[in-house]
């Protein structure tokens, strides 16, 4: 599991907690993903749309959902804004169970929204279910009902369970299990799934990250909201922001789970994810309003990526692949990871993975040349590069990067 705890000034830490959900035999069959604002946080602290957006963005585009839950299902709490379609869900229904929080007022708009989600293939769980709260309107649409045995009214469990059992497609999740007595109650009522501290506490996962600039996110949302979305404009906005590029690559990794398709350019990643999904991710990033990297740090990353593009022809490397490889090496340095480790979690083509992992191939030679120049190792540079002075090429990359790092206002 990814857990990179660099303390450098160029990055910040992102967190998500996961708590296992077990079946009757004691096997983990799913994880509930929970918001955590700090690595040492015990409780979620907040369960609003901001928290949900952070859980989604961090799980899918910072860690990668395969790193967080593997091939298991994940339960994600949703607020009203997501249920009625005011905020988008940027993932498909295959691996995700949508939890309707007990704080959501179930009115006609929520029923219509949940109905549409179920028709789209999503599974629904009713969190902390209480009869008479209005959430019983959603029972015909639900796949799971979660009963809180710690804070709930256990005196009416007979009636509550009996009402749930009228819907044969529903599995009951006993949650809040903190004592052997709670566990015994879950056995008594034949709850199919169990969750709680007596079985396993939430594990907080932490990773280093840089954030897309707020202006870039808004610019991307605007471009994607145009009646005639221009792919080249979208690609330009994404490619000019290292953090946006990394998140799109992460999202393409989630889209590529189980597929053999590998990418070698930002264009391929955008095509794989799809403009609609890119729009959804951009909107959630606006909600996920966290500290961003400085303009100087972004220029540094973009300069390396652009320098790789400028030198690609000299080494017989593909310019698009050179941009991706150069950007990944720079981002890895910012967040305290090795390029090989970062590349391992992305659906990159073999030539990029080989270059980042072993420094092999034409692309590997190119990266070694750029790295030697940037650290002032001119002896090492001479071993890799026999061309003319790089100063003019580097200055061109710096000019391009400074212009690219500042969105048009």
pLDDT tens digits along 140-150: 999 999 999 88
Task: Work out the mean pLDDT of the chain and round it to a whole number.
Answer: 77
Distance, in Å, from the CA atom of 357 to the CA atom of 377, rounded to the nearest integer, reads 21
- Residue 264's pLDDT is 78
What would you measure as the largest C-alpha separation in the chain, in angstroms?
82
The residue-averaged pLDDT of 209-234 equals: 66
- Residue 211's pLDDT is 60
- Residue 406's pLDDT is 55
- Residue 173's pLDDT is 94
- Residue 118's pLDDT is 95
Distance, in Å, from the CA atom of 279 to the CA atom of 297, rounded to the nearest integer, reads 25
- What pLDDT, in 10s, does the model give residues 76-93? 888 888 898 877 787 788
- Residue 89's pLDDT is 80
Distance, in Å, from the CA atom of 39 to the CA atom of 124, rounded to the nearest integer, reads 29
- Residue 253's pLDDT is 66
Distance, in Å, from the CA atom of 58 to the CA atom of 2, rounded to the nearest integer, reads 12
Six-digit token pair at 389?
């002075």
The residue-averaged pLDDT of 142-169 equals: 88
- Residue 82's pLDDT is 85
Distance, in Å, from the CA atom of 348 to the CA atom of 199, rounded to the nearest integer, reads 38
Ranges 25-39, 57-71, 303-317: which has the least confidence: 57-71
Distance, in Å, from the CA atom of 233 to the CA atom of 379, rounded to the nearest integer, reads 41
- Residue 49's pLDDT is 66
The residue-averaged pLDDT of 210-227 equals: 62
What domains sit in the chain, N to C, each tagged with a CATH number? 12-206 (3.20.20.450), 211-409 (1.10.3210.10)
Inform me whether the pLDDT recorded for 97 exceeds 80: yes
- State the burial class of residue 389 (Cβ atoms within 10 Å of its Cβ: 0-12, 13-18, 19+): exposed
CA dist list (Å): 256 to 116, 205, 251, 263: 25, 23, 9, 10
Ranges 54-63, 92-101, 327-336: which has the least confidence: 54-63
**Rounded percentage of the chain residues whose pLDDT exceeds 70:** 75
- Residue 396's pLDDT is 80
CA dist list (Å): 40 to 43, 202, 312: 9, 11, 45
Strongest mean pLDDT among 226-235, 282-291, 361-370, 388-397: 361-370
**Rounded percentage of the chain residues whose pLDDT exceeds 90:** 20
What lies within 8 Å, CB to CB, of 34 at 6+ separation is 16, 17, 18, 19, 44, 55, 77, 202
Inform me whether the pLDDT recorded for 5 exceeds 50: no
| Overall pTM surpassing 0.85 (yes/no) | no
Inform me whether the pLDDT recorded for 376 exceeds 90: no
- Which of the pair, 403 or 170, is modelled with greater confidence? 170
125 backbone dihedrals φ, ψ, rounded to 5°: -120, 140
- Residue 10's pLDDT is 41
Distance, in Å, from the CA atom of 39 to the CA atom of 112, rounded to the nearest integer, reads 37
CB atoms within 10 A of CB 168: 5
- Residue 117's pLDDT is 94
Number of H helices, E strands in the chain: 18, 9
Six-digit token pair at 243?
């953090």
Residue with token string 């026999």: 386
Check: CB of residue 194 under 8 Å from CB of residue 226: no
Inform me whether the pLDDT recorded for 113 exceeds 90: yes
- Residue 142's pLDDT is 95
Distance, in Å, from the CA atom of 89 to the CA atom of 76, rounded to the nearest integer, reads 11
């Amino acid at each position: 599991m990814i857990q990179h705890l660099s303390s450098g000034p160029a990055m910040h830490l992102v967190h998500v907690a996961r708590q296992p959900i077990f079946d009757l035999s004691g096997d983990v069959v799913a994880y509930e993903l929970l918001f955590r604002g700090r690595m040492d946080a015990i409780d979620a602290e907040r369960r609003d749309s901001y928290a949900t957006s952070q859980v989604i963005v961090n799980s899918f585009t910072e860690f990668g959902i395969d790193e967080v839950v593997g091939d298991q299902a994940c339960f994600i709490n949703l607020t009203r804004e997501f249920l009625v379609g005011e905020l988008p869900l940027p993932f498909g229904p295959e691996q995700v169970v949508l939890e309707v929080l007990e704080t959501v007022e179930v009115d006609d708009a929520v029923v219509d929204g949940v109905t549409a989600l179920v028709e789209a293939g999503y599974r629904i769980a009713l969190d902390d279910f209480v009869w008479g709260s209005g959430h019983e309107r959603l029972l015909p649409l639900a796949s799971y009902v979660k009963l809180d045995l710690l804070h709930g009214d256990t005196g009416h469990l007979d009636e509550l369970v009996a009402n749930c059992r009228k819907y044969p497609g529903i599995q009951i999740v006993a949650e809040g299990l903190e004592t052997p007595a709670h566990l015994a109650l879950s056995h008594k009522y034949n709850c199919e799934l169990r969750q709680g501290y007596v079985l396993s506490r939430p594990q907080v996962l932490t990773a280093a990250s840089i954030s897309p600039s707020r202006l870039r996110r808004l610019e991307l949302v605007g471009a994607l909201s145009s009646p005639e979305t221009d792919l080249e404009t979208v690609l330009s906005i994404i490619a000019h922001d290292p953090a946006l590029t990394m998140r799109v690559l992460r999202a393409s990794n989630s889209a590529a789970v189980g597929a053999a398709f590998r990418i070698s350019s930002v264009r391929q990643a955008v095509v794989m994810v799809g403009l609609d999904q890119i729009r959804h991710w951009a909107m959630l990033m606006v909600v996920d309003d966290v500290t961003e990297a400085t303009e100087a740090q972004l220029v540094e990353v973009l300069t390396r990526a652009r320098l790789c593009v400028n030198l690609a022809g000299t080494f017989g490397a593909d310019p698009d692949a050179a941009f991706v490889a150069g950007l990944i090496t720079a981002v890895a340095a910012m967040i305290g990871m090795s390029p090989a480790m970062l590349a391992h979690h992305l659906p990159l083509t073999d030539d990029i993975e080989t270059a980042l992992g072993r420094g092999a191939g034409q692309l590997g030679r190119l990266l070694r040349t750029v790295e030697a120049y940037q650290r002032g190792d001119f002896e090492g540079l001479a071993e890799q590069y026999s061309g003319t002075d790089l100063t003019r090429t580097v200055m061109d990359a710096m000019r391009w990067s400074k212009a690219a790092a500042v969105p048009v206002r």
